[in-house]
Chains A and B, each alone.
Chain A
Amino acid sequence: MFALLRDRKVRGILFQLLTIIGLVAFLWYIGTNTVHNIEQRGIRTGFGFLTGTSGFAINDSPIAYNETYTYWRVFFVGLLNTIIISVIVIFLSSILGLIIGVLRLSNNWLIAKLSSAYIDIFRNIPILLQILFWYNVVLATLPSPRKSIELFGSIFINNRGFYVPKPDMNSTTIGVMVSVAFVFVFVFFLNRWANKRHEETGEDFPVLYTGLGLLVVVPIAAYFIFGANFNFSYPHLRGFNFTGGKTFYPEFLALTFALTIYTATFIAEAVRSGIEAVSKGQKEAAASIGLSSYQALKLVVLPQAIRIAIPPTINQYLNIVKNSSLATAIGYPELVTVFAGTTLNQVGQAIEIISMTMLVYLVVSLVVSALLNWINFKMKIKER
C-alpha cells in the first residue's frame, strides 16, 4: 500500500482525484447555500426577466430605445455602446500610440523627451482617475449651452457635450459612403495584384498614388451621380439646450479621451520595442544591398518590427474593451452601466446578470486570443 504511494504516477492520480473531490465539494457547498439563500430571500431565478419592461431611459442609444422596451433591448444597447466605444478608442489610440512610439525614437532630442514624458506621465496615473478628471474637471468646466464655444458657425462645444452637423441619410450621402468603401476594397485587391506582378515581373505599380487619387475622384463622381444633394441637420440653440445634429455626450467624450490617452502610452511602448528590436545589422545589410531608406523601412525593418509589436498591441485592445467597463463610474450607458448596474438594481437577479455580463467579456477575450494566435501563426518567420 505505502509502496504504491511512492509511485509518481499513482500519486499524481491520487492528487488529482483529491483536487476534483475538493472542487466538487466546494461547488456543491456554495451551490446548496446559494439555492437556499435565494429561496429564503425570495429572489426570482431564471432569465424570464429579460422579456420584462425596463422602465428606464437611456440618453445615448445607437438603436431605437425608450422606457417601454425590454431588458433584452437594454442588454443590446449596452453591448452596442461597449462595442462602439471600444472600436473608436482602438482606432484613436492606435494612431496616437504609433505617432508617440515613433517620435520617442526620433533623433530630435526635444521631441524624444516630450514623447517619453508623455508616456511616463499618463501610464502612471490610474485610468479611473483620468476618466473622472476629464468628466468632472475638464468637460464640466466648459461654458454653458448659451455661451457655447462656436466653431465655423456649426460646431458647438459646451458642458452638455459636443454638437456637430449630421448629414441626412439620403441617396447622395449613402452613395458617397458606399463609394468610399468601394475604393478601399478596390485598393486592397489592387495592392494584392501589384505585389504579385512585382514578384513575377519586377515592375512597380504606384498603388499609393492611385489609391489617393481614387479616394478623391470617386466620391466626387458619386456625389454628382447620386443627385448632388448633401443635406446637413445643424445643431441650433432652442431654449436652454441644443437640438438637431449629432451630439457627443460628455460621458462618451470623457471615456474616449481618457482611454485613448492612457492606452496610447502602452501602444507607444509596444511600437518602440518593436522598432528597437530590429538589430542595426539588418538596417546596414539593407543599405549595403542598395535599398533606399524607404525600401529598407518597408521591406526589412517594418515586417520584423510589426511581428514584435502586434501581440502586445492586441493585448492592449483587449484591455480597452475591459477598461470601457469603467464607464459605470460616470454613467456612459455601456454594458456594465445599464445592465450590471441599473438592470441589476431593478431586478436583483445578481447571478444571472453578472454571469451574462462576464460571458460577453469572456467571449470577446476568447475571440481576440484566437485572433492573436492566428496572427502569430501567419506572422511566424517561415523557415525553409
Chain B
Amino acid sequence: MAVYNKVETREAPSNSKGMVYWLRANLFSTPLNSAMTILGIAFLFWVIPPFIKWSIIDANFAGSTRADCTGDGACWVFVRAKMDMFMYGFYPEVERWRIHLTYALFFVVIASFKYLKQAMPKIIIAIIYFIIAFILIRGGFFGLETIDTNKWGGLMLTIVVSSVGIVCSFPLGIILAFGRASKLPIIKSVSVTYIEFIRGVPLITILFMSSVILPLFFPEGVTFDKLLRALIGITLFQAAYIAEVIRGGLQSIPSGQYEAADAVGLSYWQKMLLVILPQALKVAIPNLVGSFIALFQDTTLVLIIGLFDLLAMVQVTGSDSHWLGFETEGYVFVTLIFWVFCYSMSVYSKSLEKRFNTNLK
C-alpha cells in the first residue's frame, strides 16, 4: 500500500513575493516604466521638500505681530491673527455665539434625521431650522441685535451662500425637471428654454444681471440687499443644473413604475411625489452631491460683485497695512479649507455611488 506523506506547503519562490517583487512588478517592469518611476521620484523631491521646508520647518507659528515672523518660511502668525476675519468676516465678536449655535443646531438636525423615517417631518424640521438660523444670524427679533449682511463674511458667508443656494434651488430644480419630462408641450418648452438658457451662460453674467438688472424689474422703493441679489442669482443658476441631474434620475425609472402608479389611480402629483421622485432622487444623489461641490466652488464668484466670502478675505486681510506681503499664506490657508470641504464631499459622493450600485445588482 502506497504511503502518501503530506507535503508541507512551500513558500512561494522569492521572485514572486515580497517587496522586491512588488517593486519590480509595479515600478520597474519595463525600461520605460523605470524611467517614469525615476522621473516621478525626482518630481516628488523637487516639490515636496521645499514645500515642507517653507510651510513647517522654516515657518513661524507662535506670536501675534508681524515682528514674530523671523524665519524664511511661511508666516502662519498672519493666518492666526486674521483667523476671525477668515471665519466670520466683519461679524461683531460678541455676537459670534449666534453663528456657533447655528452650526451646532445643524448637527442636531442631521442627528434627528437619523431617527425620522418619514419625509414630511424632515422637511418641516429643515424649514424650521432655516427660519431659526436666519433669525439667529441676522437678528432683529427677540431682542437680538440686527447684524447687517454687509458685515457677514469669510467662511460663514461661503457656507450661507452655498447652503441657501442648494436648498432654494432644489424645489425649483425638481419642478423644472418635472416640466422637462412633462408631456404638455408648453410646460415642456418653457422648462427646456429656461434650463438651456441658464446652462448656456456663465454664472458671472447671471450674477451681474441679478446685481444690476434685477433692481430695475421691481417698483421703486423695493430694494434688495446685495447678498439677497447674489442669492437670487445663484439659486436661479443652480436650479437649472439640479434640474438636469434630477432628469438623469427620472430617466432611469422604468416606465412600468409610471404605469403601475397610474393603474392604482394616483393623480399626477401623487404619482410623481410618492412613486417616481423618491426612486429618481436615490439614483441622482451622487450627482447631486457633485453639483453641490460645484456650487460650493462657484460661491467664490460673489467676490466679483463685491461680497466678502472666504476667498475675498484673502485680499481684504492681505491689504492690511500692518500685514503686507502675506497674501501667499492667506491663499494657501483658504485653498486648504476649500480643498478639505470639496474633497471630503467628493469622497462621500463616491461612497454613495458604490452603495447604490450594489443595490441595483
Chain A residues contacting B303 (CB-CB under 8 Å) are: 128, 329
Chain A residues contacting B185 (CB-CB under 8 Å) are: 16
Most chain A beta-carbon neighbours within 10 Å: one of B183, B215, B331: B331
Choice from A40, A109, A120, A132 contacting B27 with Cβ under 8 Å = A109
Whether the pair B335, A325 counts as a contact (CB closer than 8 A) is: no
- A381: CB under 8 A from chain B? no
- A126: CB under 8 A from chain B? yes
Q: A328-B304, A354-B212 are in contact. Are A111 and B205 (CB under 8 A)?
A: no
- A125: CB under 8 A from chain B? yes
Chain B residues contacting A114 (CB-CB under 8 Å) are: 40, 43-44
- A79: CB under 8 A from chain B? no
Chain B residues contacting A123 (CB-CB under 8 Å) are: 342, 346
Q: Give the interface residue-count category, chain B.
A: 35 or more
Chain A residues contacting B196 (CB-CB under 8 Å) are: 365
- B338: CB under 8 A from chain A? yes
Select from chain B the residue with minimum beta-carbon distance to A29: B217
Q: A34-B216, A124-B343 are in contact. Are A358 and B37 (CB under 8 A)?
A: no
Chain A residues contacting B43 (CB-CB under 8 Å) are: 114
Select from chain A the residue with minimum beta-carbon distance to B186: A16
Whether the pair B27, A354 counts as a contact (CB closer than 8 A) is: no
Whether the pair A107, B26 counts as a contact (CB closer than 8 A) is: yes
- A73: CB under 8 A from chain B? no
CA distance A20 to B189 in the complex (A): 11
- B155: CB under 8 A from chain A? no
Q: Which stretch in B125-133, B140-148, B293-301 binds the other chain? A: B293-301
Closest CB in chain A relative to B37 CB, distance in Å: 5
Whether the pair B26, A362 counts as a contact (CB closer than 8 A) is: no
CA distance A204 to B27 in the complex (A): 36
Whether the pair B27, A361 counts as a contact (CB closer than 8 A) is: no
Whether the pair B220, A322 counts as a contact (CB closer than 8 A) is: no
Number of residue pairs spanning A and B whose beta carbons lie under 8 angstroms apart = 151
- A23: CB under 8 A from chain B? yes
* Chain B window 332-356, contacts with chain A (Cβ cutoff 8 Å), 1 for yes, 0 for no: 0011001100110010000000000
Whether the pair B41, A361 counts as a contact (CB closer than 8 A) is: no
- A336: CB under 8 A from chain B? yes
Chain B residues contacting A23 (CB-CB under 8 Å) are: 190
Closest CB in chain A relative to B310 CB, distance in Å: 9
Whether the pair A126, B304 counts as a contact (CB closer than 8 A) is: no
- A366: CB under 8 A from chain B? yes
- A310: CB under 8 A from chain B? no
Most chain A beta-carbon neighbours within 10 Å: one of B298, B301, B338: B301
Choice from A30, A132, A325 contacting B205 with Cβ under 8 Å = A325
Choice from B44, B183, B202, B331 contacting A129 with Cβ under 8 Å = B331
Interface size on A, residues (CB 8 A): 53
Chain A residues contacting B203 (CB-CB under 8 Å) are: 322
Chain A residues contacting B202 (CB-CB under 8 Å) are: 322-323, 325-326, 336, 361
CA distance A126 to B197 in the complex (A): 23
Whether the pair A30, B334 counts as a contact (CB closer than 8 A) is: no
Whether the pair B40, A110 counts as a contact (CB closer than 8 A) is: yes
Chain B residues contacting A34 (CB-CB under 8 Å) are: 216-217
Chain B residues contacting A154 (CB-CB under 8 Å) are: none
Chain A residues contacting B187 (CB-CB under 8 Å) are: 15-16, 19
- A279: CB under 8 A from chain B? no
CA distance A106 to B29 in the complex (A): 12
- B251: CB under 8 A from chain A? no
Chain A residues contacting B36 (CB-CB under 8 Å) are: 106, 108, 110-111
Q: A126-B300, A326-B204, A361-B200 are in contact. Are A133 and B331 (CB under 8 A)?
A: yes
Q: A109-B26, A125-B338, A366-B200 are in contact. Are A354 and B209 (CB under 8 A)?
A: yes
Query: Using a CB–CB distance below 8 Å, which chain B residues touch chain A?
Result: 26-27, 29, 33, 36-37, 40-41, 43-44, 183-187, 190, 196-197, 199-205, 208-209, 212-213, 215-220, 293, 296-298, 300-301, 303-304, 311, 314, 327-328, 331, 334-335, 338-339, 342-343, 346
CA distance A57 to B215 in the complex (A): 30
CA distance A120 to B201 in the complex (A): 27
Choice from B27, B208, B338 contacting A340 with Cβ under 8 Å = B208
* Chain A window 130-149, contacts with chain B (Cβ cutoff 8 Å), 1 for yes, 0 for no: 00110011000100000000
Chain A residues contacting B213 (CB-CB under 8 Å) are: 350-351, 354
CA distance A272 to B60 in the complex (A): 42
Select from chain B the residue with minimum beta-carbon distance to A130: B335
Select from chain A the residue with minimum beta-carbon distance to B335: A125
Whether the pair B204, A107 counts as a contact (CB closer than 8 A) is: no
Chain B residues contacting A15 (CB-CB under 8 Å) are: 184, 187
Whether the pair B311, A33 counts as a contact (CB closer than 8 A) is: no
Whether the pair A128, B338 counts as a contact (CB closer than 8 A) is: no
A33-B219, A133-B331 known, 13 other contacts, Cβ within 8 Å: A12-B184, A34-B216, A40-B220, A109-B27, A110-B37, A123-B346, A124-B338, A132-B314, A137-B328, A326-B304, A354-B205, A354-B212, A362-B200
Closest CB in chain B relative to A79 CB, distance in Å: 14
CA distance A350 to B334 in the complex (A): 33
Closest CB in chain A relative to B338 CB, distance in Å: 6
CA distance A132 to B218 in the complex (A): 35
Whether the pair A137, B331 counts as a contact (CB closer than 8 A) is: yes
Whether the pair B26, A108 counts as a contact (CB closer than 8 A) is: yes
Choice from B297, B301, B331 contacting A136 with Cβ under 8 Å = B331
Chain B residues contacting A350 (CB-CB under 8 Å) are: 208-209, 212-213, 216
Q: A12-B184, A20-B186, A136-B327 are in contact. Are A125 and B339 (CB under 8 A)?
A: yes
A-B contact pairs, 19 of them (CB 8 A): A36-B219, A37-B220, A107-B26, A110-B40, A111-B36, A114-B44, A124-B342, A124-B343, A125-B339, A125-B342, A126-B338, A128-B303, A326-B204, A328-B304, A340-B205, A350-B213, A361-B205, A362-B197, A365-B199
**Minimum-distance CB pairs A-B, first 9:** A365-B200, A124-B342, A126-B297, A109-B26, A30-B217, A322-B202, A325-B202, A350-B212, A16-B186
Whether the pair A107, B190 counts as a contact (CB closer than 8 A) is: no
Most chain A beta-carbon neighbours within 10 Å: one of B201, B304, B334: B201
CA distance A36 to B339 in the complex (A): 47
Select from chain B the residue with minimum beta-carbon distance to A37: B216
CA distance A43 to B166 in the complex (A): 35
Whether the pair A129, B300 counts as a contact (CB closer than 8 A) is: yes
Chain A residues contacting B220 (CB-CB under 8 Å) are: 36-37, 40
Select from chain A the residue with minimum beta-carbon distance to B158: A126
* Chain A window 4-36, contacts with chain B (Cβ cutoff 8 Å), 1 for yes, 0 for no: 000000001001100110010000001001101
